[in-house]
Chains A and B, each alone.
Chain A
């Protein structure tokens, strides 16, 4: 489809249905070489980006799924059917990683509620709300590597956190060395580092909320919990949905740095997540095909969790 260039009057009505490529054919009056260069220009502008995305993002996805049905090492390249998947689901480390994903899903409401509550308070102009807004967001820009290193220092067995707890007559807690505690420590640090991100998203959602609704609820004598339940939550359902999905994606795909720095998956494999497992199989064990099978499972898990969340939140949203 040629551009509507040089024919702005013709093109404008069609532009309302922007970029659907089905607009009326503009007259082909000009026949110069310059015009054919013009006609190609959208493709020239977009080609490099398409090339990069297809080559290094979409193609590897297909390649990886395909790859997961082949063997490693001696059986390199040979089709092995579902062998990799069978081995995967027999590996206690991988099953542990999936169990940890289950924990993350259970902890998700907490990770969403904390920034949601804080954003509500900031929106209702708690004293110093501007200050809180920028302070809370600040850890979100730090690398997981830096965050992990700092908390390695703070949470070591003879570290400052335990000595503070000692002053209060508590602990010491082996934050990173106890297999029952370590996963929760890492998730806690992850929430510490990322709640500011969700907070800012919540605040931008609040900006779209009609203040008149809040005033009306208040003048009717509604308490804060009532306001939250009947005004804020229904009014922000889209934002809440967005935060749920992005927080889940964040937990499943951006905790590598923390795990790598803080626990290396230990103690006893208790802090493995699928992404870390994939990395170990690829980078340490040199088993790329097997790692691809784990990647495919992770992708499916994310798809299922994401879709389930969206439909669940839609349903609860409708009940209100």
Chain B
């Protein structure tokens, strides 16, 4: 057993180093954001002596960051709300209602899951432009919904499939219509799945850059991630302000991660064990 213990530690040390390599880049960035330009140039690695928020304030007010932040929040909120509504409605129908073609629909949905955005982006943007949706909030929201809906439906269907048919039947005997069952049974019972899927979708939409680049060409409609891509050019000589901009974009994600870590991991793995 002694030998086994030693080899465990031989593994643990590289793992600890890897953990450090995982965390340190963000720590470095946060630290750089707290320094003055002069301090950063003199010694990049030393920890900032005080928490200095001037750079954060500069990054927030200049370079349109506040505006982009607002755009991102609006679009993410709209997309997630719509995704959860449509996802739970279809998940309920596909798992508990029998109707002609439901199996084909489920398969079509899975097929859509494997159509990457890069493959459809050119015609999609053209369709969006033809319908006047490019450079509008609803346009970007719709693009996100189209992108993440197959995945959302898939997860909601598999979650709802685990709810026994007896519960639905009992609700019907109590006089509920299908819509009543959806509202009074499926929505409340689906809450854990809706939360997981909602958090994951919020991350996807918040983190996206390609769809946002294509759908929101004008500067005033930029999302935060698109805004971050232009920071480097703007602050190439002012690393602390650049780092502050990056930090502003990362902090909401970090907060969500700390709160919902398990749920995110559950939603990510739900597809792998069921499929």
A interface residues, Cβ below 8 angstroms from B: 1, 3-6, 8, 11-12, 14-15, 18-21, 23, 34, 37-38, 41-43, 45-46, 48-50, 52-53, 55-61, 63-64, 67, 118, 121, 126-128, 131-132, 134-139, 141-146, 149-154, 160, 163, 192, 196-197, 200-201, 203-205, 208, 224, 239, 242-243, 246, 249, 252-253, 256-257, 260-261, 274-275, 278-279, 282-283, 288, 291-292, 295-296, 298-299, 302, 306
Alpha-carbon separation in the docked complex, A201 to B269 (Å): 5
**A67, B22: Cβ atoms under 8 Å?**
no
Tally inter-chain residue pairs, CB-CB below 8 A: 305
Interface size on B, residues (CB 8 A): 102
Shortest Cβ gap from A190 to chain B (Å): 14
**A153, B32: Cβ atoms under 8 Å?**
yes
Partner of B118, one of A160, A253, A257: A253
**A34, B177: Cβ atoms under 8 Å?**
yes
Alpha-carbon separation in the docked complex, A57 to B161 (Å): 25
Partner of B228, one of A149, A192, A205, A282: A149
**A41, B229: Cβ atoms under 8 Å?**
no
Digitize B221-261: 1 where CB-to-A-CB distance is under 8 Å, 0 elsewhere.
00001101101100000010011001001100100110001
**B97, A41: Cβ atoms under 8 Å?**
yes
Q: List 27 A-B contacts (CB under 8 A).
A: A11-B165, A20-B102, A21-B99, A42-B93, A50-B105, A53-B149, A56-B127, A57-B147, A63-B127, A67-B126, A127-B12, A135-B23, A137-B261, A142-B26, A143-B209, A143-B225, A145-B209, A145-B229, A146-B207, A242-B275, A253-B116, A260-B210, A261-B232, A275-B118, A279-B118, A282-B122, A288-B123
Alpha-carbon separation in the docked complex, A162 to B165 (Å): 61
Partner of B165, one of A15, A55, A153: A15
Query: A21-B103, A52-B145 known; A282 and B121 CB under 8 Å?
Result: yes
Shortest Cβ gap from B142 to chain A (Å): 7
B159 interfacial contact with A, CB 8 Å: no
**B11, A126: Cβ atoms under 8 Å?**
yes
Contact partners of B57 in chain A: CB under 8 A: none
**B207, A145: Cβ atoms under 8 Å?**
yes
**B228, A58: Cβ atoms under 8 Å?**
no
**A56, B142: Cβ atoms under 8 Å?**
yes
B44 interfacial contact with A, CB 8 Å: yes
Contact partners of A252 in chain B: CB under 8 A: 116, 118
Contact partners of A38 in chain B: CB under 8 A: 177-178
**B149, A132: Cβ atoms under 8 Å?**
no
Query: A57-B146, A146-B246, A256-B209 known; A21 and B100 CB under 8 Å?
Result: yes
Closest A residue to B239 by CB, please name it: A153
Shortest Cβ gap from B109 to chain A (Å): 7
Contact partners of A160 in chain B: CB under 8 A: 28, 44-45
Query: A197-B268, A274-B118 known; A42 and B97 CB under 8 Å?
Result: yes
Query: A143-B209, A145-B225, A145-B249 known; A49 and B121 CB under 8 Å?
Result: no
Known: A260-B210, A279-B118. 8 other contacts (CB 8 A): A14-B98, A60-B123, A126-B15, A127-B8, A151-B25, A152-B232, A160-B44, A295-B122
Contact partners of B165 in chain A: CB under 8 A: 8, 11-12, 15
Contact partners of A296 in chain B: CB under 8 A: 119
Partner of B15, one of A60, A118, A278: A118
Closest A residue to B24 by CB, please name it: A154
Closest B residue to A303 by CB, please name it: B114
Greatest chain A CB density within 10 A among B19, B103, B119 is at: B119
Alpha-carbon separation in the docked complex, A12 to B261 (Å): 38
**A298, B119: Cβ atoms under 8 Å?**
yes
B150 interfacial contact with A, CB 8 Å: yes
Greatest chain B CB density within 10 A among A53, A137, A249, A306 is at: A53
Query: A118-B15, A160-B45 known; A200 and B232 CB under 8 Å?
Result: no
Shortest Cβ gap from B269 to chain A (Å): 4
Digitize B24-53: 1 where CB-to-A-CB distance is under 8 Å, 0 elsewhere.
011011001000000000001100000000
B115 interfacial contact with A, CB 8 Å: yes
Query: A52-B149, A295-B122 known; A5 and B207 CB under 8 Å?
Result: no
Closest A residue to B260 by CB, please name it: A141
B6 interfacial contact with A, CB 8 Å: no
Closest A residue to B143 by CB, please name it: A56
Shortest Cβ gap from A202 to chain B (Å): 9
Contact partners of B243 in chain A: CB under 8 A: 153
**A136, B269: Cβ atoms under 8 Å?**
no
Closest B residue to A274 by CB, please name it: B118
Contact partners of A60 in chain B: CB under 8 A: 120, 123-124, 127
**B122, A49: Cβ atoms under 8 Å?**
no
**B100, A295: Cβ atoms under 8 Å?**
no
Query: A42-B99, A49-B89 known; A141 and B119 CB under 8 Å?
Result: no
Contact partners of A153 in chain B: CB under 8 A: 28-29, 32, 239, 242-243
